[in-house]
């Protein structure tokens, strides 16, 4: 990585590829070993803007915020909301480069406290069908497990008591996790919540995504939420523009 083309080092017959990044001088460099340095996560994310589709850039940004919040050495006293705020300021402050438009569009859709890329995908799917943005990693007031740990939902619209849980493979194969999930959902449903358990099959294709979005939208509408549902989803790029990106 170098700041200008003239400083690039090329090695013949090497799998390594030289890149230029004019903001390298202001990036925090992370030492991997005595010979190798890497750019900090914000700058690495911005560089990928021209190499990955917008939904992936959003999911990666969500993951970076969560990962940094969980590492005290990276968080530096900030919570996920503070890191998200600094991330937005970073992207906005970058001078013009080929991927800046994609970065700003991704910033309009990224959120703090997202636990997995699949949760990012689910959120974007629903928003592209016109469903308002949910609260992520929502702690349900007054609800806890027998152990005393608070109960949370991956995504929720608390006013309407509608929630979503994304179930990866471990939710099916780990018996303790499965029992914990059932306890939580049974108790929430007894309190009047509608809880959707979502898996990778719900994102298999456009039809599966539309079916999920319709089911969630129907429950929200039945409980009094007013919004413009889209039978045919807008693109993530269109959603970003709509959100001000």
Q: Which tens digit of pLDDT belongs to each residue from 157-169?
A: 999 999 999 987 5
Q: What is the rounded end-to-end Cα distance, in angstroms, of the chain? A: 28
Tell me the whole-structure pTM to 2 decimals: 0.88
Q: How far apart are the C-alpha atoms of 119 and 141, rounded to whole Å?
A: 22
Contact 110, 48 (CB under 8 A): no
* pLDDT > 90 fraction of the chain, expressed in percent and rounded: 68
Nearest one of 22, 45, 39 to 102, comparing CA atoms = 45
Helix pair 117-128, 54-69: axis angle to 10 deg: 130
Lowest-pLDDT range of 23-27, 98-102, 230-234: 23-27
Q: Where are the domains of the chain?
A: 12-107, 117-242
Q: How far apart are the C-alpha atoms of 213 and 218, rounded to whole Å?
A: 8
User: What's the confidence (pLDDT) of residue 99?
Assistant: 92
> What average pLDDT does range 128-140 have in this prediction?
96
User: What's the confidence (pLDDT) of residue 172?
Assistant: 61
Burial tier of 25 (Cβ tally within 10 Å: 0-12, 13-18, 19+): exposed
Tell whether the torsion through CA atoms of 18, 20, 26 and 27 is positive or negative.
Answer: negative
Contact 167, 232 (CB under 8 A): no
User: What's the confidence (pLDDT) of residue 174?
Assistant: 66
Tell me which of 3.20.10.10, 3.40.1190.20, 3.40.960.10, 3.40.109.10 is the CATH number of domain 117-242: 3.40.960.10
Helix pair 206-222, 117-128: axis angle to 10 deg: 70
Nearest one of 41, 88, 34 to 67, comparing CA atoms = 41
Higher pLDDT, 63 or 177: 63
Q: How far apart are the C-alpha atoms of 172 and 181, rounded to whole Å?
A: 10
- What does the pLDDT look like over 202-218, one tens digit per residue? 999 999 999 999 999 99
Nearest one of 25, 3, 113 to 61, comparing CA atoms = 113
Model confidence at 120, in pLDDT bands (50, 70, 90)? very high
């Amino acid at each position: 990585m170098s700041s200008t083309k003239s400083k690039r080092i090329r090695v013949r017959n090497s799998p390594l590829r030289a890149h230029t990044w004019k903001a390298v001088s202001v990036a925090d460099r992370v030492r991997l070993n005595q010979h190798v340095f890497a750019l900090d996560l914000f700058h690495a994310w911005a560089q990928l803007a021209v190499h990955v589709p917008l939904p992936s850039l959003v999911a990666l940004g969500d993951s970076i915020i969560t990962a940094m919040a969980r590492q005290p050495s990276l968080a530096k006293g900030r919570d996920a909301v503070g890191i998200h705020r600094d991330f937005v300021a970073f992207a906005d402050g970058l001078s013009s480069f080929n991927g800046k438009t994609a970065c700003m569009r991704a910033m309009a859709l990224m959120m703090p406290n997202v636990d997995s890329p699949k949760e990012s995908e689910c959120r974007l799917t629903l928003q592209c069908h016109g469903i308002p943005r949910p609260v992520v990693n929502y702690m349900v007031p007054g609800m806890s497990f027998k152990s005393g740990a608070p109960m949370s939902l991956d995504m929720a619209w608390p006013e309407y008591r509608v929630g979503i849980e994304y179930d990866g493979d471990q939710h099916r194969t780990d018996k303790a996790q499965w029992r914990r999930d059932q306890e939580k959902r049974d108790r929430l449903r007894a309190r009047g919540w509608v809880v959707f358990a979502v898996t990778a099959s719900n994102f298999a294709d456009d039809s599966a995504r539309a079916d999920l979005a319709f089911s969630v939208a129907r429950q929200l509408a039945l409980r009094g939420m007013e919004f413009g549902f889209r039978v045919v989803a807008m693109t993530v790029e269109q959603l970003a523009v709509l959100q001000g990106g």
